[in-house]
A and B are shown apart, each in its own frame.
Chain A
Amino acid sequence: LAKFLQDHNTLSWLHHVTTGHYSSAQKTLMTLSSEESHYLSKKKTLLSLSKLAALASDEPCETVDTIVDDLNSQLDLVLYQETLPGGVLEAYGIDPDTMRVLTPEELIKMYINEDNTSANEYDFKKALDLLEFMKKPLGDEEVEALRLQIWSQAILRDSWEDLDTDNPLEAIKDTIFFRTIELAFTQGVKLHEFLPPVEDLINEPELSYYAANPSFTYLIQAGYEHINRLID
């Protein structure tokens, strides 16, 4: 029976539970969760069960802690999808009860897309946090391109042409762009890695319309200087 069930992961964890092999159950459940793409809720339950199996196992504390940390990070990703704004789900015709598993890239695009009409600094912060789930090394081209795209979209949320250049810090403090930076700062994020270099931002094609506008580049640079003073 064990041999038969081993070939059928979907069932074998039940057998492991019956025989008290919680460490094996934990591994099987984790494998099943990584293979699950049809239902987010099912992936979540597989991750939850895997976590509980780790805690029920006889593995040493340090091993359990490492496994639980890994599972928690995957459960965090589930949470990012569960907390997608209702308006976005509606725009894409997604039923939250039966939705499939979305990739971090898809989630980022949904958080920053125009369909997310009421997007605020929390949405953009979430999009930036999601970059870490892309499982690519730091400085990877694809990740950095997406990071620039998120910041560009944050900038495009506000109309910069009407802002008062005589009073730059006061003028920009209510833009989504600077509110996102402020939020990250208060959460203790290291802004050096978090913020793209100002030149990269201004050269971003999506911002070309604004980049030609001297008062926009002035406001952005004034903001960057202010931040650099804060964090140095």
Chain B
Amino acid sequence: LKPSSELTSDTTEEDLQKIEAIDWLVFDPSQRAEAVRQANALMRVFVASRKLDATRKVFAKIPADSIDVIFRQWRRMTGRTELSPEDDNATREYICFQAYLQAHDAFNDWFEHYHHGRPKEPKQPEKSDIKFTEWVAYEHQQKQYEADLERWEQALMAQTKDTVNRIYNVLLFVDGGWMVDQKTAEPEKDEPEETGRLNQMSLLRKLCIPQMSFLLHTILHETKQYKEALQLADIIASEKNQIYKDFNKEQLRTLFQKLRESSLVLLDQNHDPLGYPWE
């Protein structure tokens, strides 16, 4: 088991130079839409090469109010409230990256808390030559430990829920899915560039959607929600979101091996393989 950050590569000097270049575009609000487009293009490449830190750095270069700024600039220039298809797609893509980074961050926090945050049980002193003071100290530590454990478990439950929601936020991204444009770009738009962008986005789905699904299975399985882990099949197979289309055969088989592990635990607990009572 590894935290998702271990799946990543380091940021190089060259990457940093590209990231710094975004600063020049952010300076002038009228160029904010272009800044977001350039940032998106960089993030597409970084996510594809699993450079999560570099992706975070790009994202941080774009001020948090940028979508507002883009809307205001557009309204001032054109008097219209609806963005051009190109800007609309770019802002949506930017929010997709935000959802993706938030899901990863939540998973890493959860992983840290789950594997390293657990309080340690105090060691019980040997019964034979125990001093009264040692025993009192032990009892005190034990009580402290029980309180800490309860706090830890409650925090874990809250964090699990939050992380699961953030991963769903990517898997079931509103209105047509993560990294799927809602508008068709205008015809005068440079075509090879646009096709390249659409190809990259489709590849990102094929890379990130199975990965996010596996992270979700890890959380559900590790927090003993085995029945829910099996129900991941419903979400992935659903025609509404068509998540299964982003899995290749090998990834589907990996998924089955993971679901099988959850089933085996359910069998051990005297349930049927899907977590229902035996009939």
Which A residues are closer than 8 A to B by beta carbons? 10-11, 13-14, 17-18, 20, 22, 25, 38-39, 41-42, 44-49, 51-53, 55-56, 72, 75
Contacts and interface: CB of A to CB of B under 8 A. Distances in A.
Contacts of B238: 48, 75
Most chain A CB within 10 A, of B233, B260, B263, B273, is at B233
Given A49-B230, A52-B255, 15 more contacts: A10-B273, A11-B267, A11-B273, A14-B260, A17-B257, A38-B276, A45-B231, A45-B234, A45-B274, A46-B274, A47-B237, A49-B237, A51-B237, A56-B249, A75-B238
Interface of B: 230-231, 233-234, 236-239, 244, 247, 249, 252-253, 255-257, 259-260, 263-264, 267, 272-274, 276, 279
Given A45-B233, A48-B237, A56-B249, A22 B256 contact: yes
28 contacts: A11-B273, A13-B273, A17-B256, A17-B257, A18-B260, A20-B253, A22-B256, A25-B256, A38-B276, A38-B279, A42-B276, A44-B234, A45-B231, A45-B233, A45-B234, A45-B274, A47-B237, A48-B233, A48-B236, A48-B238, A49-B237, A49-B259, A52-B233, A52-B237, A52-B252, A52-B256, A56-B252, A56-B256
Contacts of B237: 47-49, 51-52, 75
- Tell me the interface secondary structure of chain B in the complex: helix
A75 B276 contact: no
The prevalent SS among residues of A at the interface is helix
Closest 6 CB pairs of A and B: A48-B237, A56-B252, A48-B233, A51-B237, A48-B234, A49-B233
Query: Which of A20, A41, A46, A49 has the largest number of chain B CB atoms within 10 A?
Result: A49
A63 B25 CA distance: 53
Contacts of B263: 14
Contacts of A39: 276
A17 B260 contact: yes
Contacts of B249: 55-56
A32 B237 CA distance: 17
B244 A55 contact: yes
B239 A75 contact: yes
A44 B239 CA distance: 13
Contacts of A20: 253
Contacts of A56: 249, 252-253, 256
Contacts of A17: 256-257, 259-260
B242 to A, nearest CB: 11
A42 B276 CA distance: 8
Contacts of A72: 239
B253 A14 contact: no
Contacts of B276: 38-39, 42
A57 to B, nearest CB: 8
Contact of B264 (A14, A41, A47): A14
A52 to B, nearest CB: 5
Contacts of B257: 17
Q: Which of A18, A45, A51 has the most CB of B within 10 A?
A: A45
B270 to A, nearest CB: 13
A25 B233 CA distance: 14
B274 A42 contact: yes
User: Which of B236, B253, B255 has the largest count of A CB atoms less than 10 A from its CB?
Assistant: B253
A22 to B, nearest CB: 7
A45 B253 contact: no
Contacts of A47: 237
A38 B278 CA distance: 11
B221 to A, nearest CB: 16
B8 to A, nearest CB: 28
B171 to A, nearest CB: 15
A42 B272 CA distance: 11
